[in-house]
Chains A and B, each alone.
Chain A
Amino acid sequence: MFNVNRQMLTRGALAAAVAIPATLIAGFALAQVEGQPTPGGLGLPNMVTPVGLGTQQFYNMVLMPIISFIALFVLGLLVYVSYRFNEQRNPIPSKLTHNTPLEIVWTLIPVLILLLISVPSLRLLAEQVEVPEASVTIKVTGNQWYWSYKYPEDQGGGFGFDQMLKPESELQPGDLRLLSVDNEAVVPVNEVIAVHITSNDVIHAFGVPSFGVRMDAIPGRLNQTWFKIEKEGVYYGQCFFICGKDHAYMPIVIRAVSREKYNEWLAQAKQKFASADSRMRVAAESH
């Protein structure tokens, strides 16, 4: 009887562990708009970079099923022992306190599960950390409470700008409260973008959920991360490290466009931000 029960429990738990998350994720993936959080969303956002897709696969295919199974397995065991061994049903307790084979099994099986997790985990980690050869490099600097971007001269840039939250009073239809900004950072689609990240004052963190990217901006340190956006669109991110009173008010917006449009934008942006940039330079030199 004990065997049958455990088998049934295990089988039921397995089925639920796979079925429940799969339905939830599938159901809500439909309603998603890429690049922005989904109202009432239950799972990861739709990913648009190789690292993001890797994270999504790792979480949805490996981690989520395993942890759901473990949770349901432990819950099942608790419910079973509570039912089977309560004092009405089992008035005389056994004196069993050791079972070496069982103890070895419940040590080794978790080890095997962890090994199983670590293989895809370490592969994805290397992909995140090792920055491939990039065609565009941008420098992002955190400030209290906005982000600054610099596009290097040798890649057609040579200008910089600040990215500020659009106040609620200036929101246009289609803008998102707390996410839309005045100056979007534009990058070409399907190209490797290297991002150098630092800070001017306190620690901030540059994070864009649909890229699978999160990197701290630390004064005195130049951190590096990368993404390759595989779909044109507007992608929103936020500051992910507490940085003072307006921590919640320094969003990130990255727009991915075709190479041609990117080149056009570079030319326009160079003019638009040149005056501001030279003014900054003059101010800096006069200090």
Chain B
Amino acid sequence: MASSTMAGAHDHPRGLRRFLFSTNHKDIGTLYIILGSIGGVIGFLLSLGMRLELAYPGVQIFPGLAEALQGADPSMALDAGKNLYNVFITVHGVLMIFFMAMPILIGGFGNWFVPIMIGAPDMAFPRLNNISFWLLFASLVLAVISMFVEGAPGMKGFGGGWTFYPPLSSNTGSPGPAMDFVILALHLAGASSILGAINFITTIFNMRAPGMTLHKMPLFVWSMLVTAFLLLLVLPVLAGCVTMLLTDRNFGTMFYDPAGGGDPLLFQHLLWFFGHPEVYIVILPGFGIISQIVSTFSKKPVFGYLGMAYAMVSIGVLGSIVWAHHMYTVGMSLNAQRYFTLATMVIAVPTGIKIFSWIATMWGGSISFRAPMVWAIGFIFVFTMGGITGVVLANASADKQFHEGYYVVAHFHYTLSLGAVFALYAGFYYWFPKMTGYMYSETLAKANFWLLFIGVNIVFFPQHFLGLGGMPRRYIDYPDAYALWNLVSSSGMIFVTLSLIVWFYAIIEAFMKKRLAGANPWGVGATTLEWTLSSPPPFHQFQVLPRITGASR
């Protein structure tokens, strides 16, 4: 084939063709970030609805919302409102995990920077990359539609929590098609992630530039490698798990129905075999991002690089064998509870190694407090807060007091809503100049940080008190004794909302002012390959593969 036709086929497509049919890892990464932002904003609006409702005891806004959003009959509005609240908590969870955190961290930053950081021109399978994205888009559409079709008898949407436990998700609890929409959404999202994982593993194993050995890869690439293996291992289990639910619902099987010899606990074991590694799938890319940023702005290589890389590997392995700590109250045997308690606590060790290594990286460094670094330091603190309450909940004995209560809600929001989201923002502000070529306003980026930091801490810290006091989660209304801390918690949403507005404004401002960022806005600390390219990088980078000689972490 003539080389001129090759060049023609790899020309720079424009407009719709560029994005709809994109096989370019950077364009697909951008699409993922946009999709994730949309998912995140919808997920945030749902949580705003919940916190508004919970600000005061009694049921205030959801009956009206049910009338407005789902066209509920005014005579049924109270029941429809209670159902809609449960739909909100369910869709909030699904969106934030599958359509905000995963797309931005893995599909977005992973697609953008894994090939560049290992010196590759693109991902290994560009068309697979395209279908991964559009499957996820279709999945998001299905998930949103599920809110507007019948679930529980006479009610719209599926409101059984993002864990979808049967019998509430089977025909007993939700005979309508809403749950089928959710199952198909999960199938598509799962397929999308499996294809993405295959793509990442192949890329990282086969497309590293000469000299880029595994032990020279930046830690962000390591984090994506571990994440991709986890995805590949556990998503097929989720697919099987929800497929059996689908056949239970539609084809008369009884995998989860005790009346036919099935067991609802089988679903819980399968779901958490996926679900626990899933929380590490969400946080590991964050660990990678934080390592890059802390090293860049301390102007020092990462402390204990090998320890950091293998800590992530061991977190991945350990994270896959502790799933039943989500099930301490189902009536497991004493020995099973002992095992899951001890195994879960062990995860604190590699996590501790990571926290201390980040601090040791800063130790002796010359730290410049640019916006990404401020987010990263914020991450280390809030993630530690989430981690230590995780040590509490690891104990089956203590968990009996906290299970399905607000202490748990506070714990996992400190690790995800604060941890993963802070890592996500850190990465966003770190790579925004690289991705767009423009520099944002440092003041706005820091205002965004402080508003969100203050906001989420006001929202989630008092929830520890609610949980200690015994407030169950997923409640639209609560006994009056819990009113004070619920009001405080809800008031934090003011800051969170403002932080989002500042974030949008920071993006718009950056595009309007067009301050050129240059190839490397961060200086000598930024040693990974993306900073050797122009900002934004050329449509196809590394026409000549870079040759890695020294340590390049």
Interface residues of A in 49-83 (CB under 8 A from B): 54-55, 58-59, 63, 66-67, 70-71, 74-75, 77-78, 81-82
Say whether B303 contacts A213, CB under 8 Å.
no
Say whether B400 contacts A103, CB under 8 Å.
no
Q: What is the chain A residue whose CB lies nearest that of B297?
A: A87
For the complex formed, measure the closest distance between the CB of B240 and the CB atoms of chain A, giving whole angstroms.
Answer: 21
Say whether A202 contacts B173, CB under 8 Å.
yes
Q: What is the chain A residue whose CB lies nearest that of B380?
A: A78
Interface residues of A in 204-230 (CB under 8 A from B): 205, 207, 209-210, 212-216, 218-221, 223-224
For the complex formed, measure the closest distance between the CB of B513 and the CB atoms of chain A, giving whole angstroms.
Answer: 26
Say whether B334 contacts A130, CB under 8 Å.
yes
Q: What is the chain B residue whose CB lies nearest that of A236?
A: B479
CA distance A249 to B160 in the complex (A): 16
Say whether A125 contacts B334, CB under 8 Å.
yes
Say whether B384 contacts A218, CB under 8 Å.
no
CA distance A244 to B87 in the complex (A): 10
Give every chain A residue within 8 A of B356 (Cβ-Cβ): 106
Give every chain A residue within 8 A of B353 (Cβ-Cβ): 103, 106-107
* 10 cross-chain CB contacts under 8 A: A37-B479, A38-B469, A39-B480, A70-B388, A74-B355, A85-B366, A176-B480, A209-B470, A214-B329, A221-B331
Interface residues of A in 32-53 (CB under 8 A from B): 36-45
For the complex formed, measure the closest distance between the CB of B216 and the CB atoms of chain A, giving whole angstroms.
Answer: 14
Q: What is the chain A residue whose CB lies nearest that of B470?
A: A209
Selected contact of B168 from candidates A66, A124, A130, A203, CB within 8 Å: A203
Interface residues of B in 256-299 (CB under 8 A from A): 258-259, 263-265, 298-299
Since A93-B366, A220-B258, A242-B86 are in contact, a sample of 6 more A-B pairs with Cβ atoms closer than 8 Å, ordered by chain A residue number, is A36-B481, A38-B469, A93-B298, A179-B479, A207-B404, A221-B258
Say whether B159 contacts A245, CB under 8 Å.
yes
Say whether A244 contacts B159, CB under 8 Å.
yes
Say whether A71 contacts B384, CB under 8 Å.
yes
Give every chain A residue within 8 A of B301 (Cβ-Cβ): 95, 97
Say whether A102 contacts B168, CB under 8 Å.
no
Say whether A67 contacts B392, CB under 8 Å.
yes
Give every chain A residue within 8 A of B302 (Cβ-Cβ): 97
Interface residues of A in 3-57 (CB under 8 A from B): 36-45, 54-55
Q: What is the chain A residue whose CB lies nearest that of B301?
A: A97
Give every chain A residue within 8 A of B346 (Cβ-Cβ): 114
CA distance A117 to B403 in the complex (A): 19
Q: For chains A and B in complex, what number of residue pairs have CB atoms within 8 angstroms?
A: 286
**With A81-B359, A96-B364 known to touch, is A44 a contact of B349 (CB < 8 Å)?**
no
Say whether B359 contacts A240, CB under 8 Å.
no
Say whether A97 contacts B305, CB under 8 Å.
yes
Selected contact of B401 from candidates A212, A223, A245, CB within 8 Å: A212
Selected contact of B338 from candidates A67, A125, A201, CB within 8 Å: A125
Say whether B479 contacts A244, CB under 8 Å.
no
CA distance A97 to B298 in the complex (A): 12
Q: What is the chain B residue whose CB lies nearest that of A222?
A: B331
Give every chain B residue within 8 A of A39 (Cβ-Cβ): 480-481, 483-484
Q: Mark B93-121, 1 if CB is under 8 A from A, else 0.
A: 00000000000000000000000000000
Q: Mark A96-128, 1 if CB is under 8 A from B, else 0.
A: 111100110011001100100110011011101
Per the CB 8 Å criterion, the residue count for chain A at the interface is 90
Q: Mark B459-478, 1 if CB is under 8 A from A, else 0.
A: 00000010011111111111
Say whether A121 contacts B307, CB under 8 Å.
no
Say whether A118 contacts B342, CB under 8 Å.
yes
Q: Top 9 closest A-B pairs, CB basis?
A: A220-B258, A209-B470, A94-B364, A37-B481, A223-B331, A67-B388, A124-B397, A248-B475, A245-B82
Say whether A245 contacts B479, CB under 8 Å.
no
B152, CB-defined interface residue at 8 Å: yes
Give every chain A residue within 8 A of B89 (Cβ-Cβ): 242
Say whether B389 contacts A42, CB under 8 Å.
no
Max count, chain B CB within 10 A of own CB: residue among A59, A114, A128: A114
Q: Mark B114-157, 1 if CB is under 8 A from A, else 0.
A: 00000000000000000000000000000000000000100100
Say whether B304 contacts A98, CB under 8 Å.
yes
**With A125-B337, A125-B338 known to touch, is A214 a contact of B400 (CB < 8 Å)?**
yes
Q: What is the chain B residue whose CB lies nearest that of A168?
A: B58
**With A220-B259, A248-B476 known to touch, is A125 a contact of B360 (CB < 8 Å)?**
no
Interface residues of B in 146-185 (CB under 8 A from A): 152, 155, 159-161, 165, 167-168, 172-173
Q: What is the chain A residue whose CB lies nearest that of B306?
A: A98
Give every chain A residue within 8 A of B307 (Cβ-Cβ): 103
Q: What is the chain B residue whose CB lies nearest that of A111?
A: B349
Selected contact of B160 from candidates A59, A212, A242, CB within 8 Å: A242
For the complex formed, measure the closest distance between the CB of B242 and the CB atoms of chain A, giving whole angstroms.
Answer: 17
CA distance A203 to B355 in the complex (A): 38
Say whether A240 contacts B79, CB under 8 Å.
no
B385, CB-defined interface residue at 8 Å: yes
Max count, chain B CB within 10 A of own CB: residue among A54, A106, A213, A242: A242
B482, CB-defined interface residue at 8 Å: yes
Say whether B331 contacts A218, CB under 8 Å.
yes
A129, CB-defined interface residue at 8 Å: yes
B367, CB-defined interface residue at 8 Å: yes
Interface residues of B in 341-380 (CB under 8 A from A): 341-342, 345-346, 348-349, 352-353, 355-357, 359-360, 362-369, 377, 380
Q: What is the chain B residue whose CB lies nearest that of A237?
A: B470
Selected contact of B165 from candidates A117, A203, A223, CB within 8 Å: A203
B398, CB-defined interface residue at 8 Å: yes
CA distance A238 to B471 in the complex (A): 8
Say whether B341 contacts A178, CB under 8 Å.
no
Give every chain B residue within 8 A of A107 (Cβ-Cβ): 349, 352-353
Say whether B469 contacts A37, CB under 8 Å.
yes
Give every chain A residue within 8 A of B475 (Cβ-Cβ): 238, 247-248
Selected contact of A85 from candidates B305, B365, B478, CB within 8 Å: B365
Give every chain A residue within 8 A of B298 (Cβ-Cβ): 85, 93
CA distance A46 to B322 in the complex (A): 31
Max count, chain A CB within 10 A of own CB: residue among B301, B381, B469, B482: B469
CA distance A75 to B346 in the complex (A): 22
Selected contact of B300 from candidates A93, A130, A177, A219, CB within 8 Å: A93
A133, CB-defined interface residue at 8 Å: no
Q: What is the chain A residue whose CB lies nearest that of B263?
A: A220
CA distance A224 to B301 in the complex (A): 55
B395, CB-defined interface residue at 8 Å: yes
Give every chain B residue within 8 A of A93 (Cβ-Cβ): 298-300, 364-366
CA distance A55 to B397 in the complex (A): 7
B9, CB-defined interface residue at 8 Å: no
Selected contact of B341 from candidates A38, A110, A121, A242, CB within 8 Å: A121
Q: What is the chain B residue whose CB lies nearest that of A56?
A: B401
CA distance A121 to B392 in the complex (A): 10
B57, CB-defined interface residue at 8 Å: yes
A91, CB-defined interface residue at 8 Å: yes
Say whether B161 contacts A177, CB under 8 Å.
no
B405, CB-defined interface residue at 8 Å: yes
Give every chain A residue within 8 A of B380 (Cβ-Cβ): 74, 78
Give every chain A residue within 8 A of B68 (Cβ-Cβ): none
**With A39-B484, A74-B380 known to touch, is A245 a contact of B79 (CB < 8 Å)?**
yes
Give every chain A residue within 8 A of B305 (Cβ-Cβ): 97
Give every chain B residue within 8 A of A219 (Cβ-Cβ): 167, 258, 264
